[in-house]
């Protein structure tokens, strides 16, 4: 007895000696650890290739180029981050779709629906949905451009016939 106090007794015997996480908690821990490994660049920790940055880099660049081609009003400086994020979502959704065909699970289905929702929001932010195009007045611009293009094609046909 150092200060005149008794030493406290040990823990009662009815407490568990080792705490075991529930199945739900264990899955959450595994997902977190896998996500950390992926962010650190450990592609061996991937179960499905939908998060692999290296595996999707070329496809993301191709998809971003297609987005810029579909929407000439996009500015690479102003909209570049959102365009790249949208391209990455498109590529990941394609990869996830293939993974779902092989092994449909509730986790992959949930991830797919969340990514689809994010893709719709991104496309809306870029003006690539009908509602966003109408809100931004892009439908009118697109219709005028289409009319000019059709008129030029028609003139080109008549010029070819007249020049022959």
In DSSP notation, 46-87 reads: -SSGGG-HHHHHHHHHHHHHHHHHH-TT--HHHHHHHHHHHH
Residue 64 lies inside a defined structural domain of this protein? yes
Q: What percent of the chain has pLDDT over 70?
A: 67
Closest CA to 127 of 71, 81, 86: 71
pTM over 0.75: no
pLDDT at 131: 86
- Over residues 2-47, the pLDDT tens digits come to 555 555 555 555 555 555 667 777 777 777 776 676 666 655 545 4
Residue 29 lies inside a defined structural domain of this protein? no
Residue 33 lies inside a defined structural domain of this protein? no
Residues with Cβ < 8 Å from 83, sequence gap 6 or more? 64, 67, 68, 74, 76, 126
Query: How many CB atoms sit inside 10 A of residue 8's CB?
Result: 6
Residue 63 has pLDDT above 80, yes or no: yes
- Over residues 122-134, the pLDDT tens digits come to 999 998 888 887 7
Residue 121 has pLDDT above 90, yes or no: yes
pLDDT average, residue stretch 139-164: 73
Whether the CA torsion 108, 112, 113, 118 is positive or negative: it is positive
Cα separation, 52 vs 37, whole angstroms = 11
Instruction: Write out the residue range of the structural domain in which residue 83 sits.
Output: 53-152
How many structural domains compose the chain? 1
Do the beta carbons of residue 99 and residue 111 sit within 8 Å?
no
**pLDDT, mean over the chain:** 76
pLDDT at 85: 92
Residue 14 lies inside a defined structural domain of this protein? no
Closest CA to 96 of 158, 50, 149: 50
Residue 70 lies inside a defined structural domain of this protein? yes
pLDDT at 47: 47
Residue 126 lies inside a defined structural domain of this protein? yes
Per-residue buried b or exposed e for 130-163, using 16+ beta carbons within 10 Å of the residue's own CB? eeebeeeebeeeeeeeeeeeeeeeeeeeeeeeee
Residue 66 lies inside a defined structural domain of this protein? yes
The residue ranges of DSSP E strands in the chain, in sequence order, are none
Residue 122 lies inside a defined structural domain of this protein? yes
- Over residues 81-112, the pLDDT tens digits come to 999 999 999 988 998 888 888 888 888 888 89
């Amino acid at each position: 007895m150092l200060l005149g106090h008794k030493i406290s007794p040990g823990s009662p015997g009815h407490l568990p000696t080792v705490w075991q996480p529930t199945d739900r908690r264990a899955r959450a821990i595994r997902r977190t650890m896998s996500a950390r490994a992926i962010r650190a660049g450990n592609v061996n920790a991937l179960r499905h290739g939908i998060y692999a940055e290296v595996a999707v880099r070329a496809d993301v660049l191709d998809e971003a180029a297609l987005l810029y081609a579909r929407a000439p009003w996009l500015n690479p400086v102003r909209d570049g981050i959102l365009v790249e994020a949208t391209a990455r979502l498109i590529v990941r959704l394609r990869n996830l779709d293939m993974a779902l065909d092989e092994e449909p699970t509730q986790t992959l289905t949930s991830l797919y629906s969340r990514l689809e929702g994010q893709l719709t929001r991104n496309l809306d932010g870029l003006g690539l949905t009908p509602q966003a195009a109408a809100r931004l007045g892009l439908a009118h611009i697109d219709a005028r451009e289409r009319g000019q293009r059709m008129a030029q094609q028609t003139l080109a046909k008549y010029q070819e016939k007249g020049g022959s």
